[in-house]
Amino acid sequence: MAIHVGSFFPLLLSFFLSSAGRTEVSPRITDADSPKVLEIDLNVVRPLCAEGVPDEVPALRAALWKLLLGYLPCDAFRWDSALEVGRAAHAEFLKDLIGELTVTSEGAEGSRRRARSYSHEESDSSDPMAEAAASEGLEEVLDQIRKDTFRTRPELDFFCRGLAPSSASTNVASGESSGWWQGGRKEEGQRRNGVQPSEPEMAVTSRDPDEVDVVNPKSHYDCLARVLLLYAKLNPGVRYVQGMNELCAPLYFLFAQDPLNYEYAEADTFFCFSHLMSDMRDAFVKTLDHTEGGMMGRIDKFSDLLREKDAEVWQHLESIKVCPVYYTVRWLTLMLAQELDMPDVLRLWDALLSDRARPHPLLRYMCVAMVICVREVLLAGDFTDCMRLLQHYPPVPVDDILQVAFRLRALDLTQVGFSSSDLEAAAGGAEVAAAAAVAAANSAKSRTAGSWWQWR
């Protein structure tokens, strides 16, 4: 039985409001007798989400992220229809994608057979040789994706887990999409027995670690790779760049934990990732590096903000030749997804996605706050010490850093100067952070092999 998300949202939002100690009613029901519109007031939802969505309700966080990214409309009563349209479109996109990949597997003879069969079709039909060339390009992109997919979140076993036999992968022949636990009685029985989306039936897959199956996905890694490949196909101006896997992973991880919509995690991830990339894409396009929204433009803005907020640290890093490009590329382009554990990433993105301004100015303040929180260690360190600390940031409670970032930004929004006393207050947790930094400085190891930006 299909679960209608829109009907569940008022209950979920009520839990959110009560847990946050708020008395405002966020949804505005336009007709008290027979409501036809349940308008979600983003002016209320944004600050609440920025304070952190309860981890106990992944469905609420998933719904809010979709809302904040623009995938869902503000009218909760339209959510089901919007999701239905999006998922149907995704199924069609997948059919086209698999068809193009099949051209390559068929080889030259297959292309010739297609050419002969297409000769009897209408004149506006696609060129089979062009399709073959496009599919070969997709294979090259898939090779790049394959290398990065298995490096994604290696500390989690989630992505290498196998999908249940009735996976959410689209059946290309029929165009239908089946749920991870499809089948009325089986699905209901598993729900009663407490089976969670994060605990599928199948164990960790035993497979060739260098291969992904985007035609018939068998693991979450396969679904993640297919989202990235489909995005690359539909966005030829951007295609795939190393690091996009890290941006996509938190979205897929969250949506796969949503008990109301986990069977559509791949489709929902694709659209939300596309919305997120509309804000982040310039940082991945090399020809735009030196524009305001490009990689170097974002790094320059970070450097200017750090100099404004803590000139002493900025000057010290400049004097020992620790350039921001050495440590902020991952921070700014991956939204700190590679620096934090997954629960902290989800908490941080609650705040980042709640930001009304684009492209996520709070992220820049967050990065400056990270530097300020370890300022004492940085000021006492040389080039090697500072590089080790900034490239392998020590474990510090993400909420502590967020509070520093909120304070830094609030001072600018209210056009209040940033005095030395403000600096001390903003860095109130620096002593704790510094102690953690000293303990971690000599033992910190990168989560992945090498820095992705070195391969651009």
Q: For position 284, what pLDDT does the model report?
A: 94
Average pLDDT over every residue of 251-267: 94
Neighbours of 189 (CB within 10 A): 12
Rounded to an integer, what distance in angstroms lies between the CA atom of residue 364 and that of residue 12?
Answer: 31
Average pLDDT over every residue of 211-224: 91
Query: Which DSSP string corresponds to 41-52?
Result: -HHHHHHHHHT-
Rounded to an integer, what distance in angstroms lies between the CA atom of residue 123 and that of residue 116?
Answer: 13
In the beta sheet, which residues pair with residue 177? 170
Q: Which amino acid is at 221?
A: Y
61 vs 34, higher pLDDT: 61
Q: For position 357, what pLDDT does the model report?
A: 82
Over the stretch 371-395, which tens digit does the pLDDT of each residue have? 999 999 999 999 999 999 999 999 9
Rounded to an integer, what distance in angstroms lies between the CA atom of residue 80 and that of residue 456?
Answer: 40
321 vs 430, higher pLDDT: 321
Rounded to an integer, what distance in angstroms lies between the CA atom of residue 67 and that of residue 254?
Answer: 14
C-alpha 95: how far from chain center: 24
By three-state DSSP, how is residue 75 classified? strand
Name the pTM for this structure: 0.78
Query: Which DSSP string corresponds to 236-290?
Result: TTT---TTHHHHHHHHHHHHHT-TTTGGGHHHHHHHHHHHHHHHHGGGG-GGGTT
Domains of the chain: 5-78 (no CATH), 80-281 (no CATH), 286-455 (1.10.472.80)
Rounded to an integer, what distance in angstroms lies between the CA atom of residue 371 and that of residue 332?
Answer: 13
Rounded to an integer, what distance in angstroms lies between the CA atom of residue 254 and that of residue 396?
Answer: 22
**Closest to 101 (Cα-Cα) out of 162, 172, 151, 174:** 172
Over the stretch 142-177, which tens digit does the pLDDT of each residue have? 999 999 998 899 899 899 888 865 444 444 434 444
C-alpha 218: how far from chain center: 21
Average pLDDT over every residue of 252-278: 95
How far is residue 130 from each of residues 111, 148, 270, 332, measured CA to CA in Å? 10, 28, 25, 37
Over the stretch 402-437, which tens digit does the pLDDT of each residue have? 999 999 999 888 754 444 444 444 445 445 455 555
Does position 449 have pLDDT exceeding 80, yes or no?
Answer: no
Average pLDDT over every residue of 123-127: 47
In the beta sheet, which residues pair with residue 28? 39
Over the stretch 220-246, which tens digit does the pLDDT of each residue have? 999 999 999 999 999 999 999 999 999
Rounded to an integer, what distance in angstroms lies between the CA atom of residue 437 and that of residue 424?
Answer: 18
Rounded to an integer, what distance in angstroms lies between the CA atom of residue 448 and that of residue 450?
Answer: 6
CB of 243 closer than 8 Å to CB of 452: yes
Query: Which DSSP string corresponds to 329-343?
Result: HHHHHTTTTTTS-HH
Residue 356's pLDDT band, with cuts at 50, 70 and 90, is: confident
> Please, what is the angle between helix 265-280 and helix 79-118, to 10°?
90
Work out the mean pLDDT of the chain and round it to a whole number: 77
Rounded to an integer, what distance in angstroms lies between the CA atom of residue 153 and that of residue 349?
Answer: 17
Average pLDDT over every residue of 8-37: 52
By three-state DSSP, how is residue 28 classified? strand
**Closest to 404 (Cα-Cα) out of 370, 438, 446:** 370
Does position 252 have pLDDT exceeding 80, yes or no?
Answer: yes
Does position 443 have pLDDT exceeding 60, yes or no?
Answer: no
